[in-house]
Homo-oligomer: A and B are copies of this chain.
Amino acid sequence: MKDSDVTKKYSRIYQEEINKIESGLSTILKNKEPKSLYRPCSYILNGGGKRIRPFLVLTSAKAVGGKFSQVFNAALAMEILHNFTLVHDDIMDNSDKRRGRLTLHKKYDLSTAVLAGDSLVALAYETLIKDCRLNTNHIISTFTKGVTEVCEGQSLDKEFELRRTVTIDEYKTMIYKKTAALIETCCSIGAQIAGASPKQIAAAQGYGRYLGMAFQIQDDLLDLVAEENKFGKVVGSDLMEGKKNYLFLRAVECAQGKDKDALLKIIINKGAAKEEIPMYKNLYERLGVIGDAEQEIIKYTKLAIKKLASLPNKDGRNLMNWLANILINRNK
């Protein structure tokens, strides 16, 4: 097959599987009562998204010789858990919009959002357990560790907001916990349920971990360099909120004199003005920070792909390779 045919094939498989996931998410709460709890849960579950996490559960199972159908519920569970984190994070970040719609606590109210998030956690466990047969203890422990990490990561993120200085290493620990750990969990659980060996599980997990790191740093990059009409978010919003993302911390590390003062002003003022964004973008370019971020993304993506070598199934491996390349070239 030609390269373009291969890409078409994987793209089609992704779309087919995501359609099944969408359909699963839209029916999972049907007929559940009370509606005051489950309507808000459905609101967030059916709000779209790339559905990368469930796809990683499926492909990890395939890459170790399993079948998509073995881990369909586990895939749903990971997406449900991800949506729980979105609902509670939006409360903590006081966000008004998510994927172009009102956040859950804005659409309903704070109590409803707290409670909907809580019940999504329970729903995630309930859904995951359906796919657990032999090694339930290990699977549940892995999943639970993912929940813990994501809480710790969010806690560090909030802590960093209040701090003057954060090192790049501290930042990486935070994004590992907040973003990469759940992606790692997806790959680990997919492999575990499909009966992988410890070595294969570790490889799938490593792929997820590095992919997650690349994914988050690219999120940081896209915040500044994306084309606004494709991105769906305001470009430069991290700067406006004074978020200590990779670009910012790397810029602080590299800058001197007046450049450094300009960056520290963002911390003091808890954000930059919209009209200052082009100036800061220019500064970042001058400091080589955008190139550094691109290098980091490429580095982590390569590390992720390298981990695939020890997985036995070619189709699964290729799908994971394809996904890593798609993500690196995404514009939102």
Interface residues, chain A, CB within 8 Å of chain B?
A: 33-34, 36-37, 88, 91-92, 110-112, 114-115, 117-119, 121-123, 125-126, 129, 132, 136-137, 140-141, 144-145, 147-148, 151-152, 154-156, 158-159
Contact = CB atoms under 8 A, between A and B. Distances in A.
Contacts of A137: 129, 132, 136
Contacts of A126: 141, 144-145, 148
A126 B148 CA distance: 9
* Oligomeric state, in copies: 2
Contact of A115 (B33, B144, B151): B151
Nearest to A121: B121
Contact of A114 (B36, B92, B140): B92
Given A140-B140, A144-B122, A158 B36 contact: yes
Contacts of A132: 136-137
Which of A37, A111, A129, A155 gathers the greatest number of chain B CB atoms within 10 Å? A155
Contact of A111 (B37, B125, B144, B158): B158
B92 A155 contact: no
Given A34-B159, A132-B136, 4 more contacts: A34-B156, A36-B158, A37-B151, A118-B121
Contact of A151 (B122, B129, B155): B122
A137 B123 CA distance: 15
Given A126-B148, A137-B132, A151-B37, A91 B119 contact: no
B118 A91 contact: no
Contacts of A36: 155-156, 158-159
Contacts of A37: 151-152, 155
A144 B111 CA distance: 21
Nearest to A137: B136
Nearest to A135: B136
For the complex of A and B, 5 pairs with smallest distance between CB atoms: A37-B155, A119-B151, A122-B147, A92-B111, A136-B136
